[in-house]
Amino acid sequence: MQRYFLQNQPDENGLFLIDGEDYKHIVRVMRMTEGDKIITVSGPSSVYESEIVTINETSLTGKQLIKLTHQSELPVRVTIAHGLPKGDKLEYVIQKATELGMSALKPFSADRSIVKWDQKKGKKKAERWNKIAKEAAEQSHRSVIPIIEEPVSTNQLSSSFHEYDAIMMAYEEDAKSGESSNFYQFLNHLESNANILVIIGPEGGFSESEVNRFTEDGAVSCGLGPRILRTETAPLYILAAISYHFELMR
C-alpha cells in the first residue's frame, strides 16, 4: 500500500483530509477510488491502514482503520552534517540517507566547499530538499520525515555539538594511514536512543583548521576502511554500518 504523511491530525473519529500534491498523486497518478486503502502517518507512533471515504475535486477524506506497529526507525538518531558538495549530490544524499534511516541533515559551508549558499535561492532549494526527503520517507516506509536544515557555517556547526550524545568525523587521512578501529569503538560505546552527529566533508575534504576545531570540540576522527569514498558515498556507508550494528547484529 502507498504511504502518505498527513499534514493535519485526524479528528476524534479518525477522519482526515488530504489535498495538494498528495491528493493529486492518489487520484491522478495512482487512480485510487473511494474504498481503496492507503497507509497514513500522523506521527512516529501513529501509523494506520486507512480507507479513502470520499473524493472531491480538490481533496479527499479518509478514515483510520487499523493501527500498525511495525517499527522502521533506527534505534539511534543520526544527524548528517555534510559540507556543501557540487551539483545535485546533496539531493542524492538526502534521498538515499532518508532510505537508510537518517533523522536530520545539517549542510554546512566548509572551507573547501566550492558551492556557496545563495540566500535568495535558498528557500526554493530548501523546499525541494524537504520534498525529496518526504517522498523518500514514504517510499521506504519511514514513520518520520528527516528534518532538512538550511546550511550553517563551520562555527555554527561546532557550536551545536552540545546537542548530541556523540560526534564522529569521517576523515580520509585516517583511512589513508590505516586507522581502522575508531569507527567500531565509536559504535560500540553508543546506547540505543543516542543522538549522534556524523560530519562529512565536501569533495576536497576537511581543512586542517576544521579537523583541529572539530576534534578539540569533541568529535571522534574515524577512517571508513581502506578505500577512499566519495563525499556522497560516505554518509551512506556510515548509515548502513549503523543499521547493521544496531539492527541486524541484534
Residue-level length of the chain: 250
Residue 39: give the domain boundaries.
3-67
C-alpha angle 11-13-48 in degrees, rounded to nearest 5? 85
Cell numbers placing 146: 528527516
Please check whether residues 112 and 236 belong to one and the same domain: yes
On whether the CB atoms of residues 91 and 129 are closer than 8 A, the answer is: yes
Please check whether residues 52 and 93 belong to one and the same domain: no
CATH number, domain containing residue 63: 2.40.240.20
Please check whether residues 57 and 82 belong to one and the same domain: no
Please check whether residues 114 and 173 belong to one and the same domain: yes
Report DSSP state, residue 205: -
> Is residue 122 one of the residues assigned to a domain?
yes
Per-residue pLDDT 10s for the chain (250 aa) are 999 999 999 999 999 999 999 999 999 999 999 999 999 999 888 999 999 999 999 999 999 999 998 889 999 999 999 999 998 999 999 999 999 999 999 999 999 998 877 777 777 888 899 999 999 999 999 999 999 999 999 999 999 999 999 999 999 887 677 667 899 999 999 988 999 999 999 999 999 999 999 999 999 999 998 888 999 999 999 999 999 999 987 6
> Is residue 72 one of the residues assigned to a domain?
no
Domain end (from 45, 67, 89): 67
CATH number, domain containing residue 124: 3.40.1280.10
pLDDT at 175: 66
Please check whether residues 45 and 140 belong to one and the same domain: no
User: The whole model's pTM is what?
Assistant: 0.90
Domain end (from 67, 87, 105): 67
> Is residue 142 one of the residues assigned to a domain?
yes
Domain end (from 67, 93, 119): 67
Please check whether residues 33 and 89 belong to one and the same domain: no
pLDDT at 160: 96
Mapping DSSP to helix (H, G, I), strand (E, B) and coil, where does residue 116 land?
A: coil
The number of angstroms, rounded, from the C-alpha of 220 to the middle of its chain's C-alpha atoms is 21
Q: Which residue has the cell 562529512?
A: 200
With helix as H, strand as E and coil as C, how does 94-106 read?
HHHHHHCCCCEEE
